[in-house]
Every structure is written in structure tokens, then in C-alpha cells.
Structure 1
Amino acid sequence: MKRSIIGLLLAIPMLSLGQSNYLKGYVVNNTLDTLKGFIDYKSKVRTVSAVNFKQQPDGAAQTFTPENAKGYGVDGSQYFESFNVRISKGATKTEGLKIGIDTSSRRATVFLKVLQRGPNVIIYSYTDEVKERFYIKGNASTEPYELLRTRYLEANNSTKVIGADRYKGQLLFEMRNYNSDTDFFQTDFDDLAYTEEEMIQVAAVINGMKVRVGKKSFRLVVGAGVGSSSLKYTGQNPLANAGAVSKTSYAPSINVGIDFAAKSLAERIFYRAELSLFMGKDTKVTNGQYIHSVDHTTLYLSPKILYNVYNTSSLQVYAGLGAGVSYSSYSNNLAGKAVSVAMSPDQFDEVKVDLKSTAASYNLNVGIALKKIELNAVYTPHYKVSDYAGFNILMGLMHVGIKYRFD
């Protein structure tokens, strides 16, 4: 059962790949009219060749391509413009390299993702099955050109990779062109990586503006609610028999976490690192005369992967899976057997039971977010808190509560 649940949660992203994900946005058509509505935004590494658009959430969808649209955008997140550009064909990954430099290219009309727009230049990116590329366009120009980075194998040594980073010289030229009162040297670019972050930073210098990387990719999440805890025995022990009854204890619980996403929090998949506090009083399991009760305070640290099964700008429904490490302190740890004695109060034969302070587990997560307010539930199936050979003592946790997202 445990494996089935994990498998189902891991399959959710794959099962939902074909689902629509309409977010508020717009399309600019070839007559330069801006059509406001909803964009079917797909969180993909590759740049899409077409996008679906609705003027109303329940309306008919229209398909726009780089041939019949000047661009499109998702409000507060991603922006794309269409251009007919030259696209280099040479691979940069080791497994696709050839002997000698590959200068081949093709022309195509494609959507380019806007990374930064400024008074002097605009930086774009375009990714296909071959590689990621960056483009730059001066505001007086009509067409972006590719910032070239090539890799190839040496003719006399096919295990040696040679690099040609023309993009550094291209960016240096643009800097000198637009910043004539500032000296820039080739040595300033020796460590310039071919990454989105560094392209944005260089563009910011050329444009004389602060770095803008779009919507932030993290947020703080704080919540509170009701936590529950329960004990369970397995193996050779009277408290593991069929007649055993577990009493669940309830207490307030709080949690704080940070959400991360690869690009922005508009993505379907996001990651959460969360620290929770659980408390339990008289958490116990009984079976006739046998009893084990304990009070505990537990800190629970969990990294999670969460997936928005339903995702709009105002409403998200998510499910996910997390790993957990708990640290618990125990008090009133009482285990043993109540023995009836005639004409006197019952005696209690106490048995020393040691519980582990640290333990590993996993958890299942579901939630609904209405803008900044999130309702969520976290279920941690029973996990081992003992180290005995003949039986196991397990603790289970659950949290149901409300969170506030500091976007």
C-alpha cells in the first residue's frame, strides 16, 4: 500500500502533462492588437512553437504561432516575442560534439523569451532539442542576433573539447557601443558564464539599470493548525495484537517553510522546505491490562516536491510527497501491565521502553491555495521510533491547517 501511494504521487506530474493550465495573459497579433485573456502556459524547458489562448476561461481556444502573432505574455511572469532569426545547429553537450567547429545554422521564425528589456538592448533566450541559446537586439535594430558559444572536438585528439566563446566579444562590443564613457576590457569577461543569470546581469549594465530577473522564485510560508499523533506496535508484543487500541492526541501545531521553483512560482512544480512543531499529551496504545503512554514534543524537518494539479493565477490545487527527519523529546514515558490485587488498588508492573529521539519518515501532502491563503493537510504514516529486535514502536503524525504565503 505504501509503495502504491508513493507511485501514484510520483505519477501525478506525468498524468497531468496534457492538462490545460490557463493563466491570465495576452497575445499581440500581427496587426499589433493586444488581445487580453488567458494563456495555456506550459512549464517546459524548450521554447514552445505554438500557444493556446482564450479570451474567457470557458471560451473557445485559439492557437497562435510565431507566424500569426508578434508575441504573448503571462501576467507578471513570462514574455515572448516572435522573430525570424538565424539559429546555430552545433551541439554543446559532449555526446553531440563533432570533430572541428560546426558553423551550420538555419533560419526560422520562433518565439524568443524576453529575459530583460531596457533602453539600449533586449536579451532573449531560445531553447530547442539541441541547446539553449541567447540573443541580443539593440533597440535601433529590427532583428536579434545570436550570442554564439560553440564546442567541438580537436582533430588530432577526439577526447579533447575545444571551446569558442564568441558571445564574450559580442557583449563587449555592445557595451562599448552604448557605454562610451566607460572602459570595458576583454579580461572583464574571462569568467562570464553562458547562463540566463549572467546574461541578464550584463544586459543590466548595458542598459544602465538594476538587474531584473522577473518574478521571484521563492517565498516564505507560515502556518498553524491542529496536529495529531498516535502510537502503534508491530511484531511480538501484546500491544501489537488485534485487540490493541490506539488513542490519538491532538494539540496545536505550527510550521514555517520556504517554497522554491526552477524559474518562477508560476510553474506547476515547486519545492518546499518546511519545519513543523508537533506536541502530544497522553499519546497511548492499550490492550486490556497492557498500556504504553507518552508525552512528546517533535520538530519535523521535511523537504517536499509539490505539483499544482490545477493551476491558475488565483487558485492552485496541489499534491506532493516529502521526506522527513524528526527530533523528539519525551516525558511521562510509561509502559507496562496493570495487575489486579484483591482488596487493594491495582499494581502496575512498569517496563522500561526506550524511544529514539531522531527518526526518518516520509509524508503525503495536499492543499488548496486561494491567492496568499493556503489550506493544507500533511499525513506522515507511522514510522519507527524504537530499536527492539522482536517488535517495533511506531509514531504517526498529521497536520491540518492554514498557511499564509508571503509572495
Structure 2
Amino acid sequence: MKHLYATLLLLLTLAPAFAQQDFRKGFIVQNGDTLRGYIDYRGDRRNAQFATFKQTLQGPEQRFTPEDISAYGYEVEQKLFESKTILPASETEQAQRHFLKTLIKGKASLYQYRDAADEAHYYLSMENGPLLELTQTEYTRKDPKTGRTYNATNKVFVGTLGNAFADCPNLKEAQLKNLELKESSLAAITRQYNMCVAPASVQHEQKKVKSKLTVGPVAAFYSTSLNFTGDTYLRHAPFENNVNVGGGLAFNATLPKLNEKLSVQMELLYIASNHTATFTEEGQYGSSIAYDVSFDLAHLKLPVQLRYTLPRGLIQPYFNAGVVVGYAVKDANEVTKVNTLSGSTTYSHTYPAIPGNGTTDGFRSFMEGITAGAGLTYPLPTGTLSLEARYEANNGISSISGIKSIVSTVYVLVGYGF
């Protein structure tokens, strides 16, 4: 496990460096004037608090709060954030001003705000009027016939939208009842309303970011360590670590609805390893047992990880962590035991290496474990090159409860994604 701790410590050490700023083309709106330059690109929760602006990439930074500017946005990403006042939910709370992400701006405008807990709140504004929060509540109902209780949802936001959109004859009551309190559903009904009553009023609509799938080959250079604990002769086996080469296919799918910097990284890898050890246990009266142990193994492994990528410039750092499962497609293992009695008489037997006494074959074909790594990507004309250091620890190759095998692997992976 020390390798895992070292990898995690490396990730924590590199995290502050990964958190460097990522300035992209954008603009701020202050006192009715639009000033173009570059804005630090962050997640929606951070973007709701302030904007860090530069007129040039080499220029000084300026931080603007919702009190300082009325709006800011990113040009290429077509993201717009407007300074808005959120009214308090109760008399004991105070009104707060935040940058709200503008999903649709028109006669009916739809906004999203992510709070400190990363929970999404949605607001409607009619003709630049005050914000109306779109909410729903959960409650418990009791069936009078059966006496059973069940959870129900009061879609308060449906009534809010129905009143606000009453001047559009094309919106049917059934459409409103089927709405869900999520971005795609709310944006669709707001878009339909604007097209119905004032299509020319639409000034902005948040661009949909689709998930991107990248597929490509990956080469793996790795060293696997094998150790045993428990009531077994194998705990004394000095297995050597050798560098091996494997590979397979890698798949990466971005998760733009959750976070543009998150993706799922999955690979199908062929990983082979060979472990041998020769040692002798001395007994009483000149007796001894010499062991010649070998494991010639090959696994198909499927690591599935959540990846966080820092999109900055050409070289983009990332780190990922997740789980791995594998199945042994080759499990040749044996031990040859040579018993020597009183220094002269010898006899030998060959058994499966686990447990090594000929009673059973205790090799486990299916394995599972955890994995973590960090790396870099670099774009090329036809794809993306990646380089990663990774550590994996799994539950080993012994199916016998009293014998525990510890298998850990350190990888260097080189991949190319299309």
C-alpha cells in the first residue's frame, strides 16, 4: 500500500500546480460598456462568486465581484454570467448578489446558480424583471384506501411557469405537467415560449456541450510485485520484480453535464507477468526443503476511473482514480519441492503453487482492486498523445482464506487517442 500512498501524496502535491489559472477570450460589462480581454475559466460554482479578468494575457489581473460589473462571458464557449440579486427565502436571511449563468436570455430569461454545496437552483425573469425561483418540494402522502404512505413531489415551478407563460396559446397544460426541474426541460419550455410570443427578443442561449468520446491504443510499461502473507511457505519466497510490456485499447468520455473537466477513463489491457523464486528452508537433523516456484500469468484488466483534466494551453495535466477488475487468461503456476533427509536421501514433488501441498489448486482467476495516476496530454494534428504514471493494488491471486497474496503494479502508460 505504500506505493498507493506515495501516488496519492504525489497527486495532492501536484494539485496546487494543477489549479493554476486558465485564461480564455471573454469580456466584462461595466457601466454599460463592454471591455474585451481574457477571463479565468472556472467551474460554475466559482464563476458565481467573482471573475478574474485581464485585458491582455501578459497584463495584470483584476478581480470583479457581482457588485462591480453587471455581466461577463466567454466568447468561444458562449457562456454568459449576469449579476443578479437573489431574494432571501425567509425574513431572517439577507438578499445576496451573485453571477448567475444565463441559459436563455429573451422576453423570458432562464438562469442557473450553483450554491456552495454544488446544488443547482433555477430562476425565471420576465422582461428583465425580478427573479422568480423555480422550486419543488417533497412530501409524504397516505393512500386512504390502503393506508400506505409514499413520497410525492409538489412541482411549485409548474405553476410559476404556467402563470408567466399564460400569453402563449401554444403551450398546453399537459406540457407543463410533464416538466422536470432540470436544465434541459426548463430550457426547452422557455425556448418554446420565446419563439411563441417574441422570437426577436432572444439575445443569448447557452450552447449545449456534447460528450466527446476518444478511442485509441495504449502501451503499458510496468513492474509488478508479488508477496504472500499467512500460513504458507510462499511468505518466504523472494520474488523478483521485472519490467514488462503490455497494452490494449483506451476509451475516454467527457461528462460536460457534470463538469467540463471531468471524464470517464476506461481501458482494456493485456497484462502478463512472470514471477519466479528459489529458496531453501532448513529443518532439523540436516533435513531441508528446496522450493522452485513459478507463476506465469496473464490478465485481461479493465480499469475504470474518473479523470480530472486541467485544460490549459497545449500540455494539459490530469489525474484520475478508480477501480480495476481483471480475469486471468493464463494461470500457469507450480512449485517443485525437493526434500532432503539427513543430507543424503532426496525426493521431489511438483504441485500447484497455491497452497503447494497437492491438496487443491488455490489460484484465484478473478481479481479486483483500486488504481490512481497522474499524467499529461499533448495535442497532435490527428489526435492526442498522453503519458501517465499509475499505481494499482488488487486482492491478489490466492483463493484460500488463510493465504493472502499482495499484488501491486506500477505503470507508465503511453497512449494515443483519436
TM-score range, shorter chain: 0.7 to 0.9
Determine which of 367, 370, 378 is the counterpart of 2:378: 370
Determine which of 190, 194, 206 is the counterpart of 1:203: 190
- Residue 356 of structure 1 deviates from its aligned partner by 0.8
Whole-Å separation in 2 of the counterparts to 1:404 and 1:134: 40
Alpha-carbon displacement from aligned partner over 1:254-311 (angstroms, at most 9, x marks no partner): 13233443636533xx252413222326x12212463333443322223323344x54
Percent identity between the aligned chains?
Answer: 18
Q: Which amino acid aligns with 1:266?
A: E
Whole-Å separation in 2 of the counterparts to 1:276 and 1:55: 46
Whole-Å separation in 2 of the counterparts to 1:237 and 1:27: 68
- Aligned position for 1:400: 412
CA separation of 1:239 and 1:83: change in aligned 2, threshold 3 A: closer
- Residue 5 of structure 1 deviates from its aligned partner by 4.1
Determine which of 162, 184, 208 is the counterpart of 1:214: 208
Structure 2 unaligned runs (5+)?
A: 141-149, 200-204, 280-289, 341-345, 354-361
Whole-Å separation in 2 of the counterparts to 1:6 and 1:202: 48
- Aligned position for 2:111: 124
- Aligned position for 1:93: none
CA separation of 1:191 and 1:391: change in aligned 2, threshold 3 A: same
Structure 1 unaligned runs (5+)?
A: 91-101, 155-159, 341-345
Whole-Å separation in 1 of the counterparts to 2:252 and 2:417: 9
Determine which of 99, 108, 132 is the counterpart of 1:146: 132
Q: Which amino acid aligns with 1:374?
A: S
Whole-Å separation in 1 of the counterparts to 2:393 and 2:151: 50
- Residue 113 of structure 1 deviates from its aligned partner by 0.1
Moved over 6 A (4+): 103-106, 160-164
Contact in 2 for aligned 1:298/1:328 (Cα 8 Å): yes
Whole-Å separation in 2 of the counterparts to 1:279 and 1:165: 52
Contact in 2 for aligned 1:172/1:185 (Cα 8 Å): no
Matched, 1:89 2:88: yes
- Aligned position for 1:240: 235
Q: Which amino acid aligns with 2:52?
A: N
Contact in 1 for aligned 2:386/2:414 (Cα 8 Å): yes
CA separation of 1:322 and 1:171: change in aligned 2, threshold 3 A: same
Q: Which amino acid aligns with 1:388?
A: I
Aligned-residue RMSD, C-alpha: 4.2
Contact in 1 for aligned 2:225/2:239 (Cα 8 Å): no
CA separation of 1:165 and 1:391: change in aligned 2, threshold 3 A: closer
- Aligned position for 2:287: none
Whole-Å separation in 1 of the counterparts to 2:88 and 2:59: 39
The SS at the match of 2:208 is coil
Task: Trace 1:38-53 onto structure 2 (pairs within 5 A).
Answer: 39-43=39-43, 45=45, 48-53=48-53
- Residue 347 of structure 1 deviates from its aligned partner by 9.2
CA separation of 1:252 and 1:404: change in aligned 2, threshold 3 A: same
Q: Which amino acid aligns with 1:367?
A: G
Matched, 1:192 2:179: yes
Q: TM-score w.r.t. structure 1 length?
A: 0.73
Matched, 1:287 2:278: yes
Q: Which amino acid aligns with 1:168?
A: V
Q: Which protein is bigger by CA-based radius of gyration?
A: 2
- Aligned position for 2:286: none
Contact in 2 for aligned 1:239/1:286 (Cα 8 Å): no
Q: TM-score w.r.t. structure 2 length?
A: 0.71
Whole-Å separation in 2 of the counterparts to 1:153 and 1:230: 54
